[in-house]
Amino acid sequence: MRLAEVERTFGNKASWDKPFAEWFETFVDEANQAVFRGNSACQAVCGNAIDLPAGFDLVYIDPPYISQRGVAVDYADFYHFLEGLCDYDGWQERIDWGSKHRRMVRQPNPWTDKAQIYAAFDRCFAHFAESILVVSYRSDGVPGIDELRSLMGRYKSNVQVAVFGDYTYALSTNKRSQEVLLFGI
């Protein structure tokens, strides 16, 4: 049981108060509706994106995001359940038992480091340069949209930017930031 005036360091009280089993029952049908049989064999793999082989028709990335203040989202901290599920066999060993909310152990990652993220994008674009490139992004990130456009322009002759002005993701409190898709064809 929790008191209403308890000091909260993360999360949303209503969500955290509801048992996981109830949430599961609420959404399991919805999740199952999203499963469909594709026309050809599919493969899901887990690992560093640039360690994958290249040569796909289209590569879509939705990388971690660094705000203009240089604050990065480390998914190992915030999305324990989903990140754990993606690496089910390694889940147990990846839990940081010393952290209050049982985050996953932090791994060095250029996508969450302001000094390295430019090189990370560049390596990724270079690696998949033969494919159509699509990047989900936000308008107030580091690198900025223009910087990202020119990074992509090193590998793609036709780079386009689509801005989705009124659309923000569900938990966003940042009303100034806009969702953006960059295409390199």
* Closest CB 126 distance from ligand SAM, rounded Å: 14
Angstrom distance (rounded) from CA 95 to CA 134: 32
Whether residue 118 contacts residue 143, with contact meaning beta carbons closer than 8 Å, is answered with yes
Type and span of the H or E element at 85: helix 80-86
State yes or no: residue 75 binds ligand SAM (CB under 6 A). yes
Nearer to ligand SAM, 75 or 129 (CB): 75
Angstrom distance (rounded) from CA 89 to CA 174: 36
**Chain mean position to CA 156:** 23
Contact code string over 36-65 relative to ligand SAM, x by CB under 6 A: ------------xx------------xxx-
State yes or no: residue 87 binds ligand SAM (CB under 6 A). no
* Closest CB 25 distance from ligand SAM, rounded Å: 21
Helices (H), 18-67: 20-33
Helices (H), 7-79: 13-17, 20-33, 75-78
Nearer to ligand SAM, 68 or 158 (CB): 68
89-148: which residues touch ligand SAM (CB under 6 A)? 109, 111
State yes or no: residue 83 binds ligand SAM (CB under 6 A). yes
State yes or no: residue 155 binds ligand SAM (CB under 6 A). no
Angle at 114 between CA 111 and CA 115, to 5 degrees: 105
Closest residue to bound ligand SAM by CB: 62
Q: Which residues bind ligand SAM (CB under 6 A)?
A: 48-49, 62-64, 75, 83, 109, 111
